[in-house]
Structure 1
């Protein structure tokens, strides 16, 4: 039975990854500052991961797999913390690999790419347009270079538009849920015609764990559906699923000129991983 360390275990995605890994039969070490909402079957660990400790791998229990999800201000894309924290992430991950970690997963983001129309693939050029995207892109480039030829396998999981668990999120779905709760009858909206790659947290967590525990497919892996849908279509489905009474007020906000008319991930790698694991 593999031991999986999940950093940022109490975060928006982290809690779902911890639960999914436990449900799939893995031993899980949950790493964070606090553990509210984290599955109690996990072993809680509050060892500071950004201390610079060269023996951090041993201090964290010598896991077989590390899923690194710890990241500050993930919903504030131009927060100064993204670039400020970058070297701490690099130091931590390199120390984990040097200590003997065999499989490292790091959460990436479509925001590494910046503006793009169509499917995002491994070799899609990156020109990030936010501090968040710049920092994640730099971390990916640094780790791919430093782990080249090492015995530590790197899985860089690039996520797209995530739905579910609105109470802990900050997406448009979370904002609509709050507006419904507040008794609002309408919600100001754009045209809603831009197409994106939406995935539910539960499905995403399955992909993250499945990709992390295998080493046949490494490098950049898009964790996505590969099926673009208009924002309007996905939000209308959300309203139906939740039986909300609130209505979208289309056209109140203009479509932003820097938003792509359609962007999604190429799911070829993750589909192969899921099929191999009997999860497809």
Structure 2
């Protein structure tokens, strides 16, 4: 019986939460990391050190393909640096990894996408929303999705998990929320900020991990799935709420920085599909 789910990038910001959620669903979660650092993952998790993007990587070194229920590909370099050259430099490596999974007999593959594939867009994003990315990160993710859909979607169940604005576990990320905590640690009382008017789809990373685990292992579910809250909220509102929740003695200096030119006034994921999947899962309370 297939009961193993392999997670690449399992020691990363999102991967740790996905690995935990996969185990909570009753699968054997096998965490693949380039280098295992103490405390990154649950002690009970089986960890394999490997570079999945290296030429010649063989999934058989992780687990037998006939025992693998799904592979969840989260590994990605410089995810918080939107115009890092590495995004395009490693694109062919990601493509080779995904196609090699199918060639090895893996029947279900999920990969993590991003709202940055969309580019400038106002309103809800659906599976049919056209993409026009404006950053190297978005361009690379969009190209990987398109190429994988052409190359493997007719040979295996392939699901593209499109994520939005992630927060939570904020000491481990490089978002504005992490920067607020760092500023507070330094004793700063004023935090330079944008207008804060942009509407985003915010999701806590633990909930994102549960959504990814459910969508990635749901038999028959393929194509683009928004892993998101589906609820737009202004950046100013969410940041002010974060300050209050964490009791930070800091005030936002609105207008100190201009809004980024490639950010949409409002962008969020249409979440009907993931809500239906979550309602049928072991995590109905998280919907």
TM-score range, shorter chain: over 0.9
Task: For residue 25 of structure 1, report the CA deviation from its aligned partner.
Answer: 2.2
* Alignment partners' CA distance in 2, 1:48 and 1:42: 18
Counterpart in the other structure of 2:184: 180
Counterpart in the other structure of 1:100: 105
Provide Cα deviations, 1:95-129, integer angstroms capped at 9, x if missing partner: 11111111101000000111111011111111111
Give the TM-score, by structure 2 length: 0.93
Matches within 5 A, 1:1-280: 2-36=3-37, 37-53=40-56, 56-61=58-63, 62=65, 63-150=68-155, 152-278=156-282, 279=284, 280=287
Task: For residue 35 of structure 1, report the CA deviation from its aligned partner.
Answer: 2.2
* Alignment partners' CA distance in 2, 1:139 and 1:273: 25
* Alignment partners' CA distance in 2, 1:93 and 1:146: 9
Aligned-residue Cα RMSD (Å) equals 1.4
Give the TM-score, by structure 1 length: 0.95
* Alignment partners' CA distance in 2, 1:158 and 1:252: 31
Secondary structure at 1:207 match in 2 = helix
Secondary structure at 1:234 match in 2 = helix
Question: Any conservation in 1 of the 2:157–2:221 contact (CA below 8 Å)?
Answer: no
* Alignment partners' CA distance in 1, 2:134 and 2:212: 25
Secondary structure at 2:20 match in 1 = helix
Question: Any conservation in 2 of the 1:22–1:41 contact (CA below 8 Å)?
Answer: no
Which structure 1 residue ranges, 5 or more long, are not aligned?
none
Provide Cα deviations, 1:22-44, integer angstroms capped at 9, x if missing partner: 23322011101122211221111
* Alignment partners' CA distance in 2, 1:71 and 1:157: 14
Secondary structure at 2:226 match in 1 = strand
